[in-house]
Structure 1
């Protein structure tokens, strides 16, 4: 697959580093970086937590779907999706057809260490660790559709971006020399 004419789409569970890695990767690839959560926050002029509380997850997901469809028409981009974007089958299908999807994978034990930093996430509000663990594993299956998987355990955001860059370079795909 020649990805020079396709946007790169980062997927994975919340807190895995899609936004941070996406920003670095876009710079390395000389592409525009688009963060879906930031884009939606700008549209509503409020943070994701407030959007969920005020308008509900359904409105958030509909807005997310519209923006993803719009940004998939732009080839020289890196799109950092929200952790639940791929819950929408039409989003998943469009991303797989029109983009190059990279799954940032993480184990439960590694992710759990990040939990104290993620307590403000709307889907974690009022949930026990067991509830969160169930959510984590239930989401794993939605990320099974991808073109490339990167295991992120033990890597910092720069190392993850470097790993993606190297994999793309090995496959001779859209990497500056």
Structure 2
């Protein structure tokens, strides 16, 4: 559990983390609708501000540039906004500054999908994920396991195997409400 800043729990942003393709955007939109909050997908926000896709940013400006922009946006959102549902890109949470900002100012929910279930999604997500292009399944599994270590620092974990996005959204809200009313 991270150390909270002085923002009241009910006003904190809810930050969704997890591996790429786990459903953070879909679930985040559902949670936002149910809680009457604004939804921010960090990757979509970066694309909007740069007028280009994430793969194009990676290709033209490099991953280091992208990670810097990503880090600055997330830290700003975590420290200067409230009552948002924020979906992070799969690699954002590996940055210590991002993790610290999310854990201390928000409520971090790890959407956990097993490797076996995740790899079934690979064909449908590989085309717009620069880090998956031209990688063997074993390399992707190593990335999956590496990131899972970073994701282990969270406030709540929701196992998503075999669940539809609606059920995951409801479980996420129930878990946060249940733990924060005691």
Residue 11 of structure 2 contacts residue 82 of structure 2 at CA under 8 Å; is this kept in 1?
A: yes
- In the aligned structure 1, how far is the partner of 2:36 from the partner of 2:122? 32
Cα deviation code 1:2-33 (max 9, x no counterpart): 52121110000000000110011011111110
- In the aligned structure 1, how far is the partner of 2:179 from the partner of 2:144? 31
Q: Structure 1: which 5+ runs fail to align? A: none
Residue 18 of structure 1 contacts residue 81 of structure 1 at CA under 8 Å; is this kept in 2?
A: yes
Name the counterpart of 2:71. Answer: 65
Q: Structure 2: which 5+ runs fail to align? A: none
Residue 68 of structure 1 contacts residue 91 of structure 1 at CA under 8 Å; is this kept in 2?
A: yes
- Output aligned runs, 1:1-177, within 5 Å: 2-72=8-78, 73-120=80-127, 121-172=129-180
- TM-score normalised by the chain length of structure 1: 0.94
Residue 4 of structure 1 contacts residue 75 of structure 1 at CA under 8 Å; is this kept in 2?
A: no
Cα deviation code 1:87-136 (max 9, x no counterpart): 11011011100110000001000000000011121000110111111111
RMSD, matched Cα: 1.2
SS in 1 for 2:158: strand
SS in 1 for 2:60: helix
- TM-score normalised by the chain length of structure 2: 0.92
- In the aligned structure 1, how far is the partner of 2:126 from the partner of 2:39? 26
Q: Which runs of 4+ in 1 moved over 4 A?
A: none
SS in 1 for 2:21: coil
Could you tell me how far 1:172 is from its partner in structure 2?
4.5
SS in 2 for 1:70: helix
Aligned length: 173
